[in-house]
Amino acid sequence: MSYYQVKSLEQYFKHYNKSIREPRKFWDKIADENFTWYQKWDKVVEFDMQEADVKWFLNAKVNITKNCIDRHLAKRGDKTAIIFEPNDPKEEAQHITYNELYDRVTKMANVLKDQGIKKGDRVCVYLPMIPELAVTVLACARIGAVHSVIFAGFSASAVTTRVLDSQCKLVVTADGGYRGNKTIELKSIIDEALEKCDCVEKTLVVKRTNSPVKMKEGRDEWLQPLLDAAQPNHVAEIMDAEDPLFILYTSGSTGKPKGMLHTTAGYMVYSAYTFKNIFNYEENDVYWCTADIGWITGHSYIVYGPLLNGATTVIFEGVPSYPDFGRFWEVIDKHKVTQFYTAPTAIRSLAKENWEWVDKYNLSSLKIIGSVGEPINEEAWHWYNDHVGKKKSPIVDTWWQTETGGIMISPIPFVTPTKPTYATLPLPGVQPVLMDERRNEIEDNQVVGSLCIKFPWPGMARTIWGDHQRFKETYFTAYPGKYFTGDGALRDEVGYYRITGRVDDVVIVSGHNLGTAPIEDAINEHPAVAESAIVGFPHDVKGNALYGFIILKESGEDRNRENLRKEINEHISSHIGPIAKLDKIQFVSGLPKTRSGKIMRRILRKIAEGDFSNFGDTTTLLNPEIVDEIKNERL
């Protein structure tokens, strides 16, 4: 495959400039040379960024799984497609070849069809990190069903909201899942979630933990017997370039999660192109991304990107600290991993432990190491570079989002000189711009601004499921004609980008994108709570942690504060998931509000950070006296 791989910085700039001058020609060539199509496109791109309408590869016909699996069979049938590394190191790893993957995906596709799933139907996938997760995702794509993977750490009510929003017809889940020394009872979470979901007709259950489960007559079925009876071949559905491929929920600044919709051809081209360029994949490499397939990183860089390139991709069921802090490094050594892609939060938590955990293992197979999900701080960057990369494997600090579908800004390994904490330069085809407070584009270097993208790229989300208006308002209205990322960034003297963090009401905690609004909504449902405001504050392992300012109802005022704190966190756990728990909860008698009733989060953020120096303009506050009270009682 060609994908315009660049070998020098000079070549990068050449390709970059070409990609900007002639974007249509650039993407046309990539799409043309690297995939198998039933029918090619009439037009490369059509867009109206004001209206948030974007289409790529118009009228092309394709099936992404033909590109992920079938076309590799002649040359790579016996090559390992997936290495499954179980939670428990004593359980044997599985090696699934491309031939076997074909069998498993086509059988699963036939099972889904037998259950009445048709092109365009939505299927919810709520599975732990086991091969069935990738197989189910691909089986959906095979028959043109739209997969909606929900991270298996989400609680029942979070599942309900998502299943209802996209009106899923079928759910694929497991009896339970292993994570470190914990077992998560997934089937009982699904049972609770589905009590309120009339749209779901069937649930297929994978046996993983052998936990006892209830099977609802007429709705629930064990998956394995159905697979055993299914045929291992299936003619892939012919999909239009813009047919929906999947929905993936991400938090927004209002309570309801946003179902980001990705479509077929553009996402395929973009995930494949970025994987190849950022990870320099070569034929016998073993690539490992530690994310969960429940997030976009797993979609694009465990499943689609690697398989589109005929790669060997590792699926790891466990956690970095189980059975001990050497697990990541043991797995790299065991499978001779060549590209390793993880999150700053994992790096920081491991960097706190003795580095001998790393040095015990042979990491000489590594060629490239990557970081994703949040800004990587200087200390973590150096630890990763020194102890894992041994100063020879470049760090690719990759900036992107659920909405972008794939990596947008990142060093190209062995080409772009890395710089700690900098995601560096845009990929060819990507046009970032920084905007100032007056909403003008900033042309100079050595500046900060709001990060926007001014020309469409094939991997971008096309809409929010069922709410195009919200899509337009969230991403295309603040800076008309441009896609607004929600991030702030700095551009240095040579044009390198450093992402400084969110400029909206989203907080990234341990690499998880959490909207403060849904957490507030959950807290406010607690009977003792009158009102709440959540902000992020810096945390040395998680990157950010959550600080809650909570006003109690009169009925709650004489309750024991410690018990209340516990209850509120349990409430959040059961409404959203344990990842959204608050590190600090301060009970306050009021919140700083503007005359129009808007909470001034800027002030709360400063208080949470412990920075009392400059609260900015507080003249618009209705109740300025509250600021001192909150400040004096800060935890």
* Residue ranges binding ligand WT7 (CB under 6 A): 250, 295-297, 372-375, 397-402, 423, 485-487, 499, 502, 508, 513
Instruction: State the DSSP code for 487.
Output: E
The label of the residue with tokens 């077992």 reads: 183
Q: How would you label 148-181 residue by residue, b for 16+ Cβ within 10 Å and e otherwise?
A: bbbbbbbbbbbbbbbbebbbbbbbbbbbbbbbee
Comparing CA positions, the residue from 518, 552, 529 lying closest to residue 162 is 518
* Beta-carbon contacts of residue 272 (< 8 Å; ≥ 6 apart): 1, 3, 34, 35, 67, 304, 305, 308, 309
Residue ranges of the alpha helices (H) in 479-560?
516-524
What is the closest distance, in whole angstroms, from the C-beta atom of residue 483 to ligand WT7 in the complex? Answer: 12
* Angle between helical axes of 156-166 and 561-575 (0-180°, round to 10): 30
What is the closest distance, in whole angstroms, from the C-beta atom of residue 456 to ligand WT7 in the complex? Answer: 18
Comparing CA positions, the residue from 518, 515, 511, 251 lying closest to residue 399 is 511
How far, CA to CA in Å, does 256 sit from each of 490, 529, 580?
Answer: 30, 20, 15
Closest CB to ligand WT7 among residues 94, 377: 377
What is the closest distance, in whole angstroms, from the C-beta atom of residue 410 to ligand WT7 in the complex? Answer: 8
Closest CB to ligand WT7 among residues 267, 325: 267
- DSSP assignment string, 318-348: S-TTSSSTTHHHHHHHHHT-SEEEE-HHHHH
What is the closest distance, in whole angstroms, from the C-beta atom of residue 475 to ligand WT7 in the complex? Answer: 11
What is the closest distance, in whole angstroms, from the C-beta atom of residue 21 to ligand WT7 in the complex? Answer: 27
What is the closest distance, in whole angstroms, from the C-beta atom of residue 397 to ligand WT7 in the complex? Answer: 5
What is the closest distance, in whole angstroms, from the C-beta atom of residue 451 to ligand WT7 in the complex? Answer: 8
Q: How would you label 466-485 residue by residue, b for 16+ Cβ within 10 Å and e otherwise?
A: eeeebbbebbbebbeebbbb
Closest CB to ligand WT7 among residues 191, 292: 292
Cα–Cα distance between 585 and 609 in angstroms, integer?
14
CA Rg value for the chain: 24
Closest CB to ligand WT7 among residues 176, 406: 406
- What would the two tokens of residue 127 be? 């599975």
Closest CB to ligand WT7 among residues 244, 459: 459
Closest CB to ligand WT7 among residues 219, 605: 605
Give the strand pairing for 432-435 and 447-453: antiparallel
Cα–Cα distance between 142 and 238 in angstroms, integer?
9
Closest CB to ligand WT7 among residues 289, 591: 289
What is the closest distance, in whole angstroms, from the C-beta atom of residue 341 to ligand WT7 in the complex? Answer: 10
Cα–Cα distance between 170 and 368 in angstroms, integer?
39
What is the closest distance, in whole angstroms, from the C-beta atom of residue 216 to ligand WT7 in the complex? Answer: 33
Closest CB to ligand WT7 among residues 154, 399: 399
* Beta-carbon contacts of residue 367 (< 8 Å; ≥ 6 apart): 280, 285, 338, 339, 393, 413
Closest CB to ligand WT7 among residues 250, 569: 250
* Beta-carbon contacts of residue 503 (< 8 Å; ≥ 6 apart): 450, 486, 487, 488
What is the closest distance, in whole angstroms, from the C-beta atom of residue 145 to ligand WT7 in the complex? Answer: 23
* Beta-carbon contacts of residue 386 (< 8 Å; ≥ 6 apart): none
Strand, helix or coil for residue 568 = helix
Closest CB to ligand WT7 among residues 236, 435: 435
The distance in angstroms from the start CA to the end CA of the chain is 56
CB 582 within 8 A of CB 572: yes
Closest CB to ligand WT7 among residues 423, 550: 423
CB 148 within 8 A of CB 115: no
What is the closest distance, in whole angstroms, from the C-beta atom of residue 54 to ligand WT7 in the complex? Answer: 18
What is the closest distance, in whole angstroms, from the C-beta atom of residue 250 to ligand WT7 in the complex? Answer: 5
* Beta-carbon contacts of residue 562 (< 8 Å; ≥ 6 apart): none
Closest CB to ligand WT7 among residues 108, 452: 452
What is the closest distance, in whole angstroms, from the C-beta atom of residue 498 to ligand WT7 in the complex? Answer: 8
Closest CB to ligand WT7 among residues 85, 487: 487
